[in-house]
Structure 1
Amino acid sequence: MPDLNALTALALPDGRCLMADETTDRLSLGCDGQPLLSLRVNRVPALHVAIEQRCEHPDSEVLYLACYWLFARDSACQHLTWHLDELPTEALLSGLLVTGEVSGQYRCERALFWQLPRPWLSQASVNSYPQHPVISGGKRHPLRPLKPRGEVYRRFDARLGAWISLRTVDIEHDLARFNRWQNSARVASFWQEEGSLDQHREYLAKLLADPHTLTLIGCFDDQPFAYFEAYWAKEDRLAPFYQAGDYDRGIHMLVGEEQHRGPHKVASWLSALTHYLFLDDPRTQRVVAEPRADNAKMIGYMQGQRFHCEKEFDFPHKRAALMVLGRERFFERCVLA
């Protein structure tokens, strides 16, 4: 796993690469070999930065990239203070910066930074989908937007040294791999969805047609390793067992490739999956899951990512643990890098 103390480059989802030359009190940033800006840095008692020299780039982009570097460089850093001569209007309007208590000072809060959809969402929407109540399956819930197609999320995990991305399932492309994963003894013991290619084609086609469930493939460095189902909890079978919010999202998780198991990999993909769901609609206040109550390993992994077990309950087919992660809790000590 990379040593972040030696971090000198950070890949961006659009293909560019952020480079840095850092000392105790200076930071010089460049992008794709072109100088971006130079900063004076004061780290005691808290992180303060000021621009010494800026090249010709949009101000908000310069500020954004510098914040990304500083937060990725130090996952314990919860905020930083900018000293700026000019009012950063665009950055203030977007929430990247907030006005400080002293004139000319502006704060970037980690909890706000990671809620900005750019550049992690491949298909980010400027506005939330309009809220309109409908009834389906006897349940009243908001009308859901059309489901996306293709890649929806991409981020370079500086701690892992790899890209983590999410894309929607392509049945023709992913069927054989999904069938292999579901028929492995380890996965089948929890999912209980063993079957033929035709059975699994029908399974995926049914979910593709279901507006409340989004099927996703997780990739490390563009190599598929996992299958996820993200669902709107309000119209799911889970809803009767807790007070589901209109925009709560639930997750089912399956890691199919053995080489991508383990706590450090779970920390990467589970944080990416929950990050995507919180960004996908800012009205989503909770991400929930209902693993089998005896799946101690998965429950432990989820607790390591700040989920808590609200209770145990009985589905017709299993005893389940209701795992819950609130939006505020996820972002307040967000360890994304």
Structure 2
Amino acid sequence: MPFDAASQPLSPPRWRTLSADEGDSWLSLTLEGRPLIQLRLVPGACLEVHLQSLCPERPYQALWAACYWLLSRDVACQRLAWHLPEGVPQALASGLLLPGEQPGVYLCERALFWQLPQPWLGDTAASVYPQQMQISNGKRHPRRAPKPRGEVYRRFDARLGSWVSLRALEIDQDLERFSRWQNNPRVDAFWQESGSLQQHREYLEKLEADPHTLTLIGCFDDEPFAYFEAYWAKEDRIAPFYSADDYDRGIHMLVGEEAHRGPHKVASWLSALVHYLFLDDPRTQRVVAEPRADNGKMIGYMHDQCFHCDKEFDFPHKRAALMILGRERFFDRCTLV
């Protein structure tokens, strides 16, 4: 989406053409070839950011872009101290900036920045769905929002130099791909869902009708490579095995394309998947998973992303490891770039 000074501020660009001219003590950003913001930087225990010029049509987007650039280029940077002649109301209202102790100084906290839903969620971002408790299959849980369609998450991964995105699965579009992945012996060893196209259509149609599960396709640079199931834990088979909160989310994960395997790719898509689930509903405090207990490689990848193994337990069909990642831990140790 191109930058347009006349566009609605609630629909910010996806920053495809954001570029920088920078040094140790300065930064200049442009978007669509137009000057966006110019800064003087003073390194220290907390990076001091002094505003030199700002795009008057889009001050919030300019501040956001600068915070993004500075936090992304240094994963160890936890805080920015902005020196501004006056506050930007939208930046303060959203949590992008916090008032500092000194007049004219505003703080950007890394743990807060990555919790802002835009632009990661794009047009799917919405207000929090209202809560009403209901009972289904003997389980009391909140009524769930209607499932989204289309793309739900997009972020540029600076480490890979690629866009990582998530979109809702479309059965007619994705059935053959899903079936090919499930019939891969490597995948079948863990999922045990090999079968015919018709069997896989029935499997996906059942999930499509299930309000507690969202099926997703993961993409790198818009090339599908993985299938994910995101489920509400309170209504899931996992609920009896731990104290599930009303908005806990769980994940099942399948990488189907061999070219996109490996720890560097897992670090990208797993962090993106968890990031999406925490942004999708701010009431979600934990993301859980239950890989097979003998799947040491996947469990190791999850440890790398700050999951911890709470325990092992027995499902009827497997011995599972209960992996948990809390919202506070994810954002406080956030290594997204």
Interval of TM-score (by shorter of Structure 1 and Structure 2): over 0.9
1:155 equivalenced with 2:130 (yes/no): no
Relative distance call for 1:168 and 1:80 in structure 2 (3 A) is same
1:258 equivalenced with 2:255 (yes/no): no
Is the 1:60–1:91 contact (alpha carbons within 8 Å) kept by the matching residues of 2?
Answer: yes
Is the 2:14–2:122 contact (alpha carbons within 8 Å) kept by the matching residues of 1?
Answer: no
Matching residue of 2:89: 89
Q: Give 2:76's aligned amino acid.
A: A
Q: What aligned pairs does 1:15-94 form with structure 2 within 5 A after superposition?
A: 16-94=16-94
Q: What aligned pairs does 1:217-256 form with structure 2 within 5 A after superposition?
A: 217-256=217-256
Matching residue of 1:107: 107
Shift of 1:89: 1.6
Moved over 6 A (4+): none
- Partners of 1:232 and 1:126 lie apart in 2 by 19
Shift of 1:46: 1.9
Q: What aligned pairs does 1:1-337 form with structure 2 within 5 A after superposition?
A: 14=14, 16-337=16-337
Q: Give 2:281's aligned amino acid.
A: D
Shift of 1:13: 6.1
- Partners of 1:277 and 1:45 lie apart in 2 by 32
Q: Give 1:289's aligned amino acid.
A: A
Percent identity over the alignment is 69
**Structure 2 gaps, min length 5:** 1-11
Is the 2:215–2:227 contact (alpha carbons within 8 Å) kept by the matching residues of 1?
Answer: yes
- Partners of 2:15 and 2:159 lie apart in 1 by 19
Q: Tell me the C-alpha RMSD between the 2 structures.
A: 1.1
**Structure 1 gaps, min length 5:** 1-11
Q: Deviations over 1:267-315 (max 9, x none)?
A: 0000000000000000000000000000000000000000000000000
Matching residue of 1:7: none
State which drifts further: 264-273 or 25-34: 25-34
Local SS of the residue matching 1:112 = helix
- Relative to the length of structure 2, the TM-score reads 0.95
- Partners of 1:126 and 1:194 lie apart in 2 by 37
Shift of 1:83: 0.5
Q: Give 1:227's aligned amino acid.
A: Y
- Partners of 1:13 and 1:260 lie apart in 2 by 27
Local SS of the residue matching 1:81 = strand
Is the 2:293–2:319 contact (alpha carbons within 8 Å) kept by the matching residues of 1?
Answer: yes
Shift of 1:123: 3.7
- Partners of 2:304 and 2:186 lie apart in 1 by 22
Q: Deviations over 1:61-106 (max 9, x none)?
A: 1111110111111111111010011122211111101111111111
- Partners of 2:320 and 2:55 lie apart in 1 by 55
Local SS of the residue matching 1:152 = strand
Shift of 1:54: 2.1
Is the 2:247–2:283 contact (alpha carbons within 8 Å) kept by the matching residues of 1?
Answer: yes
Is the 2:293–2:320 contact (alpha carbons within 8 Å) kept by the matching residues of 1?
Answer: yes
- Partners of 1:123 and 1:252 lie apart in 2 by 25
Local SS of the residue matching 1:145 = coil
